[in-house]
Every structure is written in C-alpha cells, then in structure tokens.
Chains A and B, each alone.
Chain A
C-alpha cells in the first residue's frame, strides 16, 4: 500500500516535468501544426548539457538551467529556420519526417560525443530523501529531487501560462494558434512567432532533460522511449491542447509508476501505449482535443 502511495506521489511529481516537455510539443503543434519528433532526443541533449556543465564546471544542476535553457532555445530557433521554414506543402507530414531526420542526426552526434555508456546526473538532493509520513506502519520517503523538479515545473509551466494568457506576445501567439491566416491578415508576423514558439518548445526540454537525467541513467538511445511517451501524452491529451498535455502527463505517469510498483517496471511502458489505443477508440481526438469534423 505504501508503495502505491509513493508511486502516486512520485508520479504526480515527475508528471510535472513530463507535462513541461509535452506542453512544448503541444505548443509547437498548436501554433505551427507540426509535430516535433526531435523533442525526445532534445531532452537527452538537455540532460547531457546539464551533465557536462556539472562534470566540467561543477555548476549545480538547477543553476545550470540558466545556461542550458537559452542554449536550447537557440537550437530550437536554428532547427526551425533551417528545416521547418522551407517546408511549403503538406507541412505536417513533412515536418514529421524532417524532425525525425534531425533527431537521428542529433542522436548520432550525442553518441559520438558521449558514447553509449549510460550516465546519470547526481547531486545531494537526488539521493537524499525526506520523510513524508507513515502509512500502514511503513515510513514513506520521497527523494528531494522529485519535490524540487515539481516546483521547477510548476514555476516553468506557470511562467508559460502567464506568457500565453497575460502578455501581448501570448495573445498574438494564441491568435496564430487559432487561425494562422487570419493572424497574418491582421499583421501578425506568423513566421517570427513560429520560430519563437519552436524555441520555447525546445527550451523547456532543457528543464525536462535535467529532471530526466536525475531520475535514471540515460544515454542517447533513450530518446525513442521518450518521444513515444511524449507523443502518446499529447495524443491522449489532445494535440494542441496545453491542458491536455498536463492532464495526459499526470495520468500516464501516475498510472505508469503505480503499474511499476504493483506489477513490474517493464510493463509500465506497455500500459502507456495500451491506454492510448483504448482511448483513441472511444475518443479519437484525445481528452481535450477538438473533434475533427468532416471538411466541408
């Protein structure tokens, strides 16, 4: 029982981080109608960046985000400019192929730079845990890192929401999301918005990467698993919906962690995917997505 509770709590806490990465993906889709398959490997890149900063310069992981996030933002801008912007026809389909290709390249570069040896980010707060309470006589401990990353994701997600709903930039972004052509007609520079949105969507992977890297050992090969989970999350939540990204992440992670506790870790991924399939049967547009009507 205590294990299940811990599973739920950890799931909720780490769900926040996944929500961040998934939100980035959803945001990109919402504004630009493209699916960034490279998001998974970019998370790993973010993790390696944090790792490098820590190993070489002994910069704390959270502090290091002040460096890695802008770097990832720039990388996002570059990817958008070089590879997404030139797409003219059937952008969504080609964007999948293009970002998949970019993901392969980045993965290759990571393997060359860091080899396949798994590494892990560590700090005092990764191993130390705090006493939370007692259930059924078992004492419950949660590692500090979960709490910290949860706070981080709350801050970042909160920042994202603030940006979207309380700033002028945010409203132009949301306008582009709703109707690209109309936005252009009223003078919004949709291309610039697209580039910035992509940058933001990628920048959050820096935070996600750092959190990801603390919870387990990783190497470049983990990108596949990661992007599959992220895609499942946004399809589950509804593509283009930030709320959906949040709810989807939490749901999937809690269920995954609980499954790992009750059953075994290797089944938790399968459960993810099976859930998705079941959901799509009932609700093809996801939880918060818009039902695609027939085109008239």
Chain B
C-alpha cells in the first residue's frame, strides 16, 4: 500500500524543467531508494514533497490525502521528516537543544515550560543514544564532525516520530564504518514500521539496503523495481552513462 505518492508533478526553474510529469509512489513500511544521475530531479522532488518548493502542476498525497504545496511545518507535523544533503542543524545550540527544537510541543503550556521537562528530555537522550552521539549532548552542534551532524539530524527528525523519512544522501561524505552504522539504524527503524525514501549515489548502500528502487532521469521516472532488476535495466545504464 502506498503511503506517499507524487502524481504527475512538474516543476521548472526559469528555463530548466527540474521535474517533468514525475510520478512515484512509496510503499508503506518499505525502504525505497531514489537514484538517478546528477540533475535528474531527486532533491527537487524532496523539496516539493516537503513544502520547500511549490509544484507547477501535479499532486502529492500522503496517506491518501493531498498535501501538495503544504508549508514545511505542516508537512513535518503530518508525519514526514527529511534530512538535507548539507546537514542543516542549529550550530549555536547544543546537541540536546537541537533535539528539543524538533520536539516542539504545540500547546501553550508546552511552550511556556522550561525545555528540559523530563519526558522529552528522556526521549531526546534515548534517541541520541540510538544514533550513538549521546556523549556529545552538551556540545554546541557546530563543533560536531560532519558524520556526527548527520546523525544528529537523523535523531531530531526521529523525535517527532514520523511515519515517513526522506533521507537526502545520508551516506555522502561519510566513512564506511559510519555508513554501516547508518544502514543499521535505518533497518532497525524500518523494522519498527518507519517508511524510508532514500536519495543516494552510493550504489552499494542503495542496493544493500533498499527493498525497491526508483530511478529518475531528467525529471521523470524511467524505472522502478527491486534493486537487481533496476541495476540491469538498459535504460538506467544508458541514463547514467550518457548523462
């Protein structure tokens, strides 16, 4: 059953057609990979789904309901979390504070109270532990290494208990040990029911992790299916070699 769908989405920037009647669907409870040569529209698709960009035409649906052009905060609150290629964390806040920003409680009492209320604090620490950076909790997030920042970003997305997580190049610029660590975390979460959509260039990572892979090229989907099938698809090979 598909939990997240893009139907015929098009988006142009000036003269460049970033997305061209692009339709993809993400199966609930699965890890779906999104690959394609540079410029194929992967990040734009993420941006459009999460509300950082508006679509020109087409619809995005989540759990059957349309969320096209919904603003980022709404998308997040509905249950879709996302990370960024260049990690976006709050560098002047501590690691723990970063977690609490994402755990914003919406009611007035929640806002007025001190941020280190016990339930949230516990959950935040749990998650930091889960990703493996609990020891850094009081450091300014700006001091973390690149890999640690990625983990932090991952952790604070989790604090809102999203149903779907969009990961934008999680393995980029990270050492193999960390990559394996990340893949483990993703699998664990997936077992608990979280759906993933992962953009990656690291083929090994994608093929080893994902249940199904969608390929974009020039803003539109050209292939979709289990990793093995996609890997040997001639159109896909051409797209990569030709691009």
Q: Which residues of A contact B (CB under 8 A)?
A: 293-296
Q: Which 5 pairs between the two chains have the least Cβ-Cβ distance? A: A294-B52, A296-B52, A296-B47, A293-B53, A294-B72
Min CB–CB distance B237 → chain A (angstroms): 29
Docked CA distance A295–B72 (Å): 11
Shortest Cβ distance from B39 into chain A, in angstroms? 15
CA A295 to CA B43, docked complex, whole Å: 13
Contact B72 A296 (CB under 8 A): no
Q: Which of A293, A294, A296 has the most CB of B within 10 A?
A: A296
CB distance from A290 to the nearest CB of B (A): 11
Residues of A contacting B115 in the complex (Cβ-Cβ under 8 angstroms): none
Kindly state the separation between the CA atoms of A257 and B108 in the bound complex, as whole angstroms: 50
Instruction: Categorize the interface residue count of chain B.
Output: under 10
Q: In the complex, which residue of chain A has the Cβ closest to the Cβ of B85?
A: A296
The residue on B at minimum CB distance from A294 is B52
Q: Which residues of B contact A295 (CB under 8 A)?
A: 52
B84 within 8 A of A: yes
**What mask results when residues 41 to 60 of chain B are scored 1 for a CB within 8 Å of chain A, else 0?**
00100010001110000000
Report the minimum CB–CB distance from A180 to chain B (whole Å): 17
- Which residues from A are CB-within-8-Å of B72? 294
A294, B53: Cα distance in complex, Å:
7
Which A residue's beta carbon lies closest to that of B51?
A: A294
Closest CB of chain A to B4's CB: distance in Å? 19
Inside 8 A of B47's CB, which chain A residues have their CB? 296
Give Cα distance in the complex from A205 to B54, angstroms: 41
Sample 8 A-B pairs with CB under 8 A, ordered by A number: A293-B52, A293-B53, A294-B51, A294-B52, A294-B53, A296-B43, A296-B47, A296-B52
- Chain B residues with CB under 8 Å of A296's CB are 43, 47, 52-53, 84
Closest CB of chain A to B90's CB: distance in Å? 14
Query: Which chain B residue shows the least CB distance to A295?
Result: B52
The smallest C-beta distance from A285 to any residue of chain B, in angstroms, reads 15
Nearest CB on A from B60, distance (A): 16
Taking each of A293, A294, A295, which has the highest tally of chain B beta carbons within 10 Å of its own beta carbon?
A294
Complex interface: chain B residues within 8 A of A293 (CB): 52-53
Closest Cβ of chain B to A294, distance in Å, is: 5
What is the CB-to-nearest-CB distance from B89 to chain A, in angstroms, rounded to a whole number? 14
A21 to B51, CA, bound (A): 39
Beyond A294-B72, A296-B52, 10 extra complex contacts between A and B, CB < 8 Å? A293-B52, A293-B53, A294-B51, A294-B52, A294-B53, A295-B52, A296-B43, A296-B47, A296-B53, A296-B84
Interface members, chain B 49-106 (any A CB < 8 Å): 51-53, 72, 84
Residue of B nearest to A293 (CB): B53
